[in-house]
Chain A
């Protein structure tokens, strides 16, 4: 997850609310679940390519 790339569009929160949240202050992505599974749709939905899934 690259918080510098994040543009705070909120697509990951919309797509996988159990895995992602937005920081209250700057709106950028935070991880709720340190070992998330099945986040392919959230990766795809990110407009800024700020999320990558490893393995």
Chain B
């Protein structure tokens, strides 16, 4: 039976004042009463908003809900929300359903296994140590984002893929507008073209002279140059602007929760669980979307074919039905089942890389700087409120 539910005219985006780690308060209120509600999307589409852990997970696991780009409605305001999207370009598998999605994903999964990612630990430790050494050499304060959080994952993804690290600033400049809804359509289009051209040339070079890295290996598969360019684009984009935000925002969250930081310092064995908890608590990729391919009865409602469901991962990860005292950061909590990497067949391909990098980088940072602290008042930290991926733009820290 379908009961009446609230109808939001826009997605709540404003986080509570003074609580930079908490989702917008309206999302929590909504979730506890109506985990599936109506939502008007920025382009006027009448869709839905899922905020409960169970319902978000159910939608993501259900093949009747599609990821296809041409069916997509964008819940976050901005240029992309107003555009009619064509079907995904060949290789852009995150915007496809199975079996097309699966065909691409199966070529990649062997390259991102738990075992292969753990084998990188030693190299990540080396890179982390180099960056910590450089921070110490230059004084007793630094911006943790530029000195640590950004370069470590950037270097690792470049090495893994076989992309020259010297060009990482160029990539970052062109990836950033894609995660910022307020960037214009022209700005985003130009960034996509610039990156695409660069990566296409790189793929051609690797095809002529195969290298011992992921992109080099992929040139020996059935993938075309166009498909490989899209895949390189996805992997590079995902590697540059995700773990970096977790490292910086995660450090900020630990510094603002001194009891949790102390617990982690006292027992470094807690780090793996603490990372899962930070992933849950911070949920930097905060909002997703799927479109119903047919009429689906779910959560006591009828979602009609063609209607989009916005999925609030951040609200779901603070659902008290799943996580007791959800608004508390608790590094000893069992945070398993959090949806920070998504759920369903599209769940993050690079999640094991992210975990290994965070384990090494957080452990290294805390061990090196026992007196690590913010160098400015917390309310002066510039938050990425304008991005699809949450984080901080800078994190001035001191350690002397």
Interface residue ranges, A against B (CB under 8 Å): 6-11, 13-15, 17, 21-28, 41, 44-45, 47-49
CA distance A44 to B61 in the complex (A): 12
Tally of B interface residues using CB under 8 Å = 27
Residue of A nearest to B60 (CB): A47
Known contacts A7-B347, A9-B348; A27/B113 CB under 8 A? yes
The answer on a CB contact under 8 Å between A27 and B109 is yes
Cβ contacts under 8 Å, A28 to chain B: 106, 109-110
Cβ contacts under 8 Å, A14 to chain B: 114, 352, 355
Kindly list the 10 A-B residue pairs having the minimum CB-CB distance in the complex, ordered from nearest: A8-B109, A27-B109, A47-B347, A27-B110, A22-B113, A10-B114, A13-B114, A27-B113, A9-B347, A26-B110
The answer on a CB contact under 8 Å between B345 and A10 is no
The answer on a CB contact under 8 Å between A47 and B342 is yes
Cβ contacts under 8 Å, A27 to chain B: 108-113
- Let me know if B129 is at the binding interface, CB within 8 A: no
Question: CB < 8 Å: which of B110, B345, B355 contacts A23?
Answer: B110
Residue of A nearest to B105 (CB): A7
Interface string of B313-356 (1 = CB under 8 A from A): 00000000000000000000000110001111111110110010
Task: Kindly provide the distance from the CB of B348 to the nearest chain A CB, expressed in whole angstroms.
Answer: 7
Interface string of B46-89 (1 = CB under 8 A from A): 00000000000000110000000000000000000000000000
- Let me know if B115 is at the binding interface, CB within 8 A: yes
**Secondary structure of the A contact surface, majority rule:** loop
Known contacts A22-B114, A27-B111, A28-B109; A47/B352 CB under 8 A? no
User: Which of B115, B341, B346, B355 has its CB near the most chain A CB atoms (within 10 A)?
Assistant: B115
CA distance A45 to B337 in the complex (A): 6
CA distance A54 to B343 in the complex (A): 23
Interface residue ranges, B against A (CB under 8 Å): 60-61, 102, 105-106, 108-115, 336-337, 341-349, 351-352, 355
Question: CB < 8 Å: which of A7, A22, A41, A44 contacts B345?
Answer: A7
Cβ contacts under 8 Å, B102 to chain A: 7
What are 17 A-B pairs at a CB distance below 8 A?
A7-B102, A8-B105, A8-B108, A9-B109, A9-B341, A9-B351, A13-B114, A13-B115, A14-B114, A17-B114, A23-B110, A26-B110, A27-B113, A28-B106, A47-B342, A47-B343, A47-B347
CA distance A19 to B358 in the complex (A): 25
The answer on a CB contact under 8 Å between B115 and A48 is no
User: Which of B105, B114, B347 has its CB near the most chain A CB atoms (within 10 A)?
Assistant: B114
Task: Kindly provide the distance from the CB of A27 to the nearest chain B CB, expressed in whole angstroms.
Answer: 3
Known contacts A7-B347, A47-B343, A48-B345; A24/B336 CB under 8 A? no
Question: CB < 8 Å: which of A23, A41, A47 contacts B336?
Answer: A41
New contact pairs (9) apart from A14-B352, A27-B109, A44-B336, CB-CB < 8 Å: A9-B348, A9-B349, A9-B351, A15-B336, A22-B113, A26-B110, A28-B110, A48-B344, A48-B347
The answer on a CB contact under 8 Å between B109 and A7 is yes
CA distance A23 to B115 in the complex (A): 10
Known contacts A10-B114, A14-B114, A47-B344; A26/B109 CB under 8 A? yes
CA distance A10 to B113 in the complex (A): 6
Cβ contacts under 8 Å, A49 to chain B: 61
Known contacts A14-B352, A41-B336, A49-B61; A8/B345 CB under 8 A? no
